[in-house]
Amino acid sequence: MRLQSALAHPLDALDARFLAHLPDLVTTAEARRVDGGNQRLAEALAARLPGPVRTGSAVREIRREGDAIRVIGEGFELGVEACVVAIPLALLPELRFDPPLPDRQAEAIAAIPTSRAAKLAVPLRSRHAPRALMSARHRFWAWTTVCDGTGGRIANAWAGAAPVLGRLAVEAGPARWLARLGALWPGLDPVAEDALLTDWQRDRWARGAYSVLPGIADPRGDAAIAPPAPNLVFAGEHTAEPEWTGTIEGALRSGARAARDLLGEEPPRARAGPS
């Protein structure tokens, strides 16, 4: 149950490799948080760039023109020397490549599942001490923390894997999940009408939570993430080493690896590549 929740994918669709994650999931070591939220990582990285980061405009096509690359998006075009494609795996099949990715690579990308997760956040009428509870019956967990920016006045809940979200009726809003949270945690006293439910499947910039490692025949996903050209490389959590996929650490590592690949600081990792 813990594994299914963390990987946000149905247990019966996972193979035995995933058991390797269990020791990390049941560790009692204190979990670290980024004070102020994970977004601060992206903001700090962006602050070091010479120009502003364009947000809110999706890239639709990546065209190779000789040694150069043209990036074509919603209302803009850019000619660039190099490009790192780091959009979520679930959105990659919608991005046009010219020339197209080899069939085998496009199929490998489409074959990697993206997990599904949702979070519920609901303000509380009073402060609560840090606590975490798991609903074994309904397969979600809930917690309060003093690191929520309000000193413990928000109850958070997490549910992973599509069938679990289905049973919580997240498509219909937070009502059923709130009721089950109330049953799990009497005395919480939530302001139900201000509950915020986020389902990343419905976020057009994500379409899911994170990648689920590809099939055992290609455990590193090499076929999916082989660079189409020396100056056109993939990054993002789904391109990280298998032990780091689906994590922020994996995303950061993949970005550093992509930069090294482009700068030629070390040869790109040996990849099977599409034939």
Ligand X SMILES: Cc1cc2nc3c(=O)[nH]c(=O)nc-3n(C[C@H](O)[C@H](O)[C@H](O)COP(=O)(O)OP(=O)(O)OC[C@H]3O[C@@H](n4cnc5c(N)ncnc54)[C@H](O)[C@@H]3O)c2cc1C
Q: Should residue 41 be labelled a site residue for ligand X when binding is judged by CB under 6 A?
A: no
Q: Should residue 168 be labelled a site residue for ligand X when binding is judged by CB under 6 A?
A: no
- Judged by beta carbon, residue 48 or residue 125, the one nearer ligand X is 48
User: Which residue type does 263 have?
Assistant: L
- Tell me how far apart the alpha carbons of residues 110 and 102 are, in angstroms, rounded to a whole number: 12
Strand stretches in the chain, DSSP E: 59-65, 68-73, 76-80, 83-85, 96-98, 117-123, 131-135, 140-144, 154-160, 196-199, 232-234
Cβ atoms of 178 and 192 within 8 Å: the answer is yes
Q: Which two tokens stand for residue 12?
A: 């019966």
- Give just the sign of the alpha carbon dihedral 14, 84, 204, 170: positive
- Judged by beta carbon, residue 58 or residue 111, the one nearer ligand X is 58
Closest distance of CB 32 from ligand X, Å:
10
- What are the CA-CA distances from residue 19 to residues 23, 30, 221 (Å)? 8, 21, 19
- Judged by beta carbon, residue 222 or residue 237, the one nearer ligand X is 237
Q: Which of 3, 72, 82, 86 binds ligand X (CB under 6 A)?
A: 86
Q: Which of 174, 221, 228, 246 binds ligand X (CB under 6 A)?
A: 246
- Judged by beta carbon, residue 54 or residue 127, the one nearer ligand X is 54
- Tell me how far apart the alpha carbons of residues 175 and 156 are, in angstroms, rounded to a whole number: 15
The count of chain residues that interact with ligand X, using the rule CB under 6 A, is 20
Closest distance of CB 80 from ligand X, Å:
14
Site residues (CB under 6 A) for ligand X, limited to 87-126: 87-88, 91, 117, 119
Q: Should residue 222 be labelled a site residue for ligand X when binding is judged by CB under 6 A?
A: no
Cβ atoms of 108 and 218 within 8 Å: the answer is yes
- Judged by beta carbon, residue 13 or residue 95, the one nearer ligand X is 95
Q: Should residue 72 be labelled a site residue for ligand X when binding is judged by CB under 6 A?
A: no
- Applying CB under 6 A, which residues contact ligand X? 58-59, 86-88, 91, 117, 119, 200, 205-206, 209-210, 236-237, 246-249, 251
